[in-house]
Chain A
Amino acid sequence: MSEHLRSQNLHPATSNIGRIRFRKRLIAFFVILWACVEVTSQPVGADVCFTFSADPGEVVLLVTSRGGMVGVHSTFTLYGDGRLEYRHEGIDGTLHEKYDFHLDYSEMEKLLRLAVDHSLLDATEKDIENKVKALRPDGRLPNITDGVVVVFEVTLTSYRTTGGERGKTTNKIRLPEPTYLSRYYNIPELHGLAAILGQMSDYRRLAREHLKGR
């Protein structure tokens, strides 16, 4: 089953939903400027500006999971044109659910900013694991039985911090139960992953409610 949902159904408060095309350099300049301006009002994170692709074929954000008790997993794939594809599949490849959403620029920027502001562009799995270990008296990772491992991958076309500018940047992190871990360990990267996962869950819930209401 596939359902194409306009994002205005997900965010009724947003007045002008639609795709914003980034082909012209002037628009891109203002996008960068806007993203940078937006940063200064953010309470969390360094002074960071970023851009992301508008290419419909380019994946800018991928969130999926593996493991757990059931053997089905969700994959959220955000493309540069704002299309957010949700797939719920079994380990045998059977497709159980599929929804397509469309996010406008501000929604995409908000989602990616969660990653940027919580250092998810630079952190590695080892970094985060070491931070968790450092907070534990036994210095070891917790063993969460029956949990899932979340895979998070983000790609930006440029990424500028006080330390300098980087071109195309991709970061991939795999962590067990980041939402659960963020409850006990005050680590920005875990909070960022939990926030992104929470947003993905919200999109899915809204899609299901929308279908139920038809």
Chain B
Amino acid sequence: MYRDITFAFFLFLFIFAQTGTYAGTYFAVDYEVSNGNIIPFAIVHPPGYDGSGADLQIDICVLKTFPDSEKLVGPLQEAIETWNQQVPKTGNCQSCVLWEEAPPPGNLHAGTVLLHELGHCALGLGHINLEGAPFVLPSSFTKSIGATEVVDGNGLRGDYEDIHQIPVQVHDLTWFRTADNDPVIIDSTVIDINTFSRSVAADLPAGHNYAASANRAVAEALGFADTQAVMYSRGVPQMEYSGLSADDFNMVRMGMTGEDLLAGTADDYTVHLRYRANCDDDVEIRVELFPLGPDGVGICDAKIVESFVQGLLKFHWTVVREDGAPAIQISLNEEHSWDYGERIFASGFENGDLSEWSTAAP
């Protein structure tokens, strides 16, 4: 009888995983699922989330251990402001390069890498694309776990036509809009479990094979040039994000619906990042330059823990610092020559998008 109960439990989990439960490209979910530590339908929340509806304030400082460390302050403040504004946009990515394309020469933009790493460490987001193993090249296909092969019917990787081949079971990790599976569109749709799903098996629009991924090529095919999620796993020289994509925004909003996954209820929370000038203060995240060897660029060092006591199925997880570390750590490689360039105006002045500027004469 005990064996029957155990079998039923795992059968339940298998079915539950396939039919509209709650997971997505959240931080560390792929790692933890691959190691058998958590269930695939987990949502990861920013540091400090404990299940209550409240404003999460996340303090971030720059550790000034190297002469150039001070130069990180400006790009970090800009990245913090971008996440705090919570305004999605199209045309947010200049010189975006996919994994299938050759990178240009030059220096990496510190603000772009910091924006991405804050997405992991401060907002609990994961990558949107398929990364494989260290010796398997990443790609622009939509993220999943367990697919032995991803079939791309039309030459466009990460769009609705891809098929993730199932040997035994593919873990679907990517959230999508159930109405249209469009990862870059911006409209008035309220993001919660009624409009957003992870279930490829149950909730895709008719004719769609898989969740579409917010990479530049897919966005272009959908009518939005130079648009890409900040949480795409590649960062190359000259590449710069001027804001969040809809996908980045939607994933944060989904987390903000709280335990019940419904928007507009008492357990919803907000999240606000704050720059602190002093790392001696009690901060959640420390940013630094650190020698990462010849090829490292930037890393987020954190782990996830259960947000609050839950039953057998633990959906909600929170980003926390690693054991023994003073804080969650974002490190940029001190050995690189970085582009620390700050834009004086952050509202489209440089790229000609004046939609945020008033046309009325003062």
B173 CB to nearest A CB, Å = 14
How many A residues have CB within 8 A of the partner chain?
44
- List which A29-59 residues lie within 8 A (CB) of chain B: none
Question: A74 vs B299: C-alpha distance in the bound complex, in angstroms?
Answer: 18
A158 located at the interface, meaning its Cβ lies under 8 Å from any Cβ of chain B in the complex: no
Other-chain contact of B292, A137, A142, A179, A200 (Cβ < 8 Å): A179
Other-chain contact of A70, B135, B234, B291, B299 (Cβ < 8 Å): B234
> Assuming A65-B294, A70-B235, A201-B335, is B102 touching A90 (CB within 8 A)?
yes
A residues less than 8 Å from B303 (CB atoms): 138, 142-143
- Residues 10-31 of B, flagged 1 when their CB comes within 8 A of A and 0 if not, give 0000000000000000011001
Contact B134 A149 (CB under 8 A): yes
- Residues 139-177 of A, flagged 1 when their CB comes within 8 A of B and 0 if not, give 010111111111000000000000000000000001011
| SS class, residues of chain A in contact with chain B | mixed
Contact B295 A180 (CB under 8 A): no
Chain B residue with the shortest CB-CB distance to A64: B295
Other-chain contact of B298, A72, A96, A146 (Cβ < 8 Å): A146
A-B contacts counted at CB < 8 A amount to 123
A73 located at the interface, meaning its Cβ lies under 8 Å from any Cβ of chain B in the complex: yes
Chain B residue with the shortest CB-CB distance to A63: B294
Question: A90 vs B331: C-alpha distance in the bound complex, in angstroms?
Answer: 23
Question: A33 vs B25: C-alpha distance in the bound complex, in angstroms?
Answer: 58
Other-chain contact of A69, B32, B234, B302, B331 (Cβ < 8 Å): B234
- Residues 83-103 of A, flagged 1 when their CB comes within 8 A of B and 0 if not, give 000000011101010000000
B103 located at the interface, meaning its Cβ lies under 8 Å from any Cβ of chain A in the complex: yes
B153 located at the interface, meaning its Cβ lies under 8 Å from any Cβ of chain A in the complex: no
Other-chain contact of B299, A91, A138, A140, A145 (Cβ < 8 Å): A145
Other-chain contact of B294, A94, A180, A204 (Cβ < 8 Å): A204
> Assuming A143-B31, A145-B120, A146-B120, is B103 touching A201 (CB within 8 A)?
no
A residues less than 8 Å from B299 (CB atoms): 144-147, 177, 180
Contact A71 B294 (CB under 8 A): no
A87 CB to nearest B CB, Å = 11
> Assuming A70-B236, A145-B27, is B325 touching A65 (CB within 8 A)?
no
Contact A73 B295 (CB under 8 A): yes
B341 located at the interface, meaning its Cβ lies under 8 Å from any Cβ of chain A in the complex: no
A18 located at the interface, meaning its Cβ lies under 8 Å from any Cβ of chain B in the complex: no
A residues less than 8 Å from B134 (CB atoms): 66-67, 148-149, 174, 176
- Residues 195-214 of A, flagged 1 when their CB comes within 8 A of B and 0 if not, give 00110110011000000000
A residues less than 8 Å from B137 (CB atoms): 71, 91
Contact B295 A92 (CB under 8 A): no
Contact B301 A180 (CB under 8 A): yes
B residues less than 8 Å from A96 (CB atoms): 105
Question: A65 vs B294: C-alpha distance in the bound complex, in angstroms?
Answer: 8
B residues less than 8 Å from A91 (CB atoms): 99, 137
A26 CB to nearest B CB, Å = 39
Q: List the 8 closest pairs (A to B, CB-CB), nearest first.
A: A149-B134, A74-B294, A67-B134, A197-B293, A65-B295, A69-B235, A69-B297, A145-B300
**What are 22 inter-chain pairs, A to B, with CB distance below 8 A?**
A65-B293, A69-B113, A69-B233, A71-B137, A72-B103, A72-B295, A140-B35, A140-B37, A143-B32, A145-B28, A145-B300, A146-B116, A146-B297, A146-B298, A150-B293, A177-B293, A179-B292, A180-B290, A194-B293, A197-B294, A200-B293, A201-B293
Q: Which residues of A contact B (CB under 8 A)?
A: 65-74, 76, 90-92, 94, 96, 136-138, 140, 142-150, 174, 176-180, 183-184, 194, 197-198, 200-201, 204-205
Q: Which residues of B contact A (CB under 8 A)?
A: 27-28, 31-32, 35, 37, 99, 102-103, 105, 108, 113, 116-117, 120, 134-135, 137-138, 233-237, 290-303, 322-325, 331, 335
